[in-house]
Amino acid sequence: MRSAPTILHLDMDAFYASVEQASKPSLRGKAVIVGGLGPRGVVATASYEARVHGVHSAMPMSQARRLAPNAAYLVPRFTLYRSISDQVMALLRALSPLVEPLSLDEAFVDLEAGGTAWDERSARLVGAKLRADIRAVTGLTGSVGLAASKMLAKIASEQAKPDGLIVIEPGTERAMLEPMPVRTLPGVGPATGDHLRRAGIHTVGEIAEAGEDELVRLLGKAHGHALYAMALARDDRPVVAERETKSVSVEDTYDVDIHDRVRVGLEVQRLADRCVRRLRGAGLSGRTIVLKVRRYDFSTLTRSETLRGPTDDPAVVREAAARLLDSVDTTGGVRLLGVGVSGLADYTQEDLFAQAAGGAGEEAAEAEESEPAPEPRPEVPVERRWSAGHDVRHTEYGHGWVQGSGLGRVTVRFETPGSPPGRVKTFRVDDPALEAADPLPLVEAPPDLPEPMRPPEEPPPRPLEG
């Protein structure tokens, strides 16, 4: 471990819910829950006002509705969340070339590698300025932990929530950790926590007192060694700037099991297209197509097919996914479907249509050319769907967001991030004056991103290593 608290961990506060509150003045200070709104949906994020009622991430949405029946329940807007995340990550990369994102709202930063901090004072200044910059650029708050290791920096940011900053000075780590519950340590979930509790171990200090041999006996060699090291505040993991993406995938869980085989096939095709869009958005291609099917009885089947080279062609992925579906029995119904691509590369091999057809690409292409074009099918009007929380625009009332819809009606609240709480109107779902809209920026004119932060004074010279 290093001798100064120059590893920073940033965790945005209730990120998705905070974005929704910032963009919707009528929801500020109120319970907001973001996630899947169907019977099988789960909570992605809950605002701090909702957490008072016991709502937390990964909770079934049905349970959240029982705990907080009067909260605002919204469908995620991931495009907006990603754009705000990009702004935050740009601020972090101005501090150091070593930034390790863990998710859209969380990252480690090695300040020493960027020359922006070398001791407790300079690290604290950087952390305070970062929090101010995030608020100025996004209008949101984030909590910062600073320590000599990644584990301790993450613990510090958790202790700082919400909207705080904590610095753990080297030499104080053991004393800080000892009274904390065992669940504070990374990798100690409910099962491991219960196992330790049954052995009479409740705090991090008691883990250290139990000794390495006892922990290995209780938890196994790998977990026991790792947990003992963490209890002694030992963590030498470096901040890694790039994490290799191993796969790109999408999946959907359905409110009602799908029994119609044709509908299952259409859903797989739709998921394949979504997966390819995400793949292309990342500038990647892949060789292995993966299909995931969770059936009515919760049994989950995974099938895969490896091509001769990487592809980002939607036709190739659709055909491979369809062939994989042919090998799966969906009798009884399907509750979840997923399509993924692995074996990733940053280039695309030409002429992959043949490999998706099992090597008979030229013949298939010739046959396709000789077939007459299918008769056009009459278009069937589809009722527009309005997702709760998503942006809309009305020709008369301007910008707003969907409060809810059903029975052929949609209710909209007209307000913007910079306006007072707005009025509510109800329309027919097919009202031609109402259309989907892009989200508005949370801050009307965000300031330019700062130049890379430089230390206020030169660090003391390091002794020569002999």
Say how far residue 288 (Cα) sits from the centre of its chain. Answer: 23
Q: What is the DSSP string of 288-354?
A: EEEEEEEETTS-EEEEEEEEEEEE--HHHHHHHHHHHHHTS--TT-EEEEEEEEEEEESS--S--HH
Residues 438-448 as b/e (b if ≥16 CB within 10 A, e otherwise) read: ebebbbeeeee
User: Residues with Cβ < 8 Å from 86, sequence gap 6 or more?
Assistant: none
**389 is written with which tokens?**
């929380």
- How far is 272 from 277, CA to CA, in rounded Å? 9
- How far is 386 from 366, CA to CA, in rounded Å? 43
Sign of the C-alpha dihedral, residues 193, 197, 201, 204? positive
One-letter identity of residue 27: L
106 is catalytic: yes
**368 is written with which tokens?**
């396709």
Annotated binding residue 312: no
Annotated binding residue 105: yes
Of residues 20, 106, 112, 305, which has the active-site annotation? 106
From the annotation, which residues make up the binding site for Mg(2+)?
11, 105
Active site residues: 106
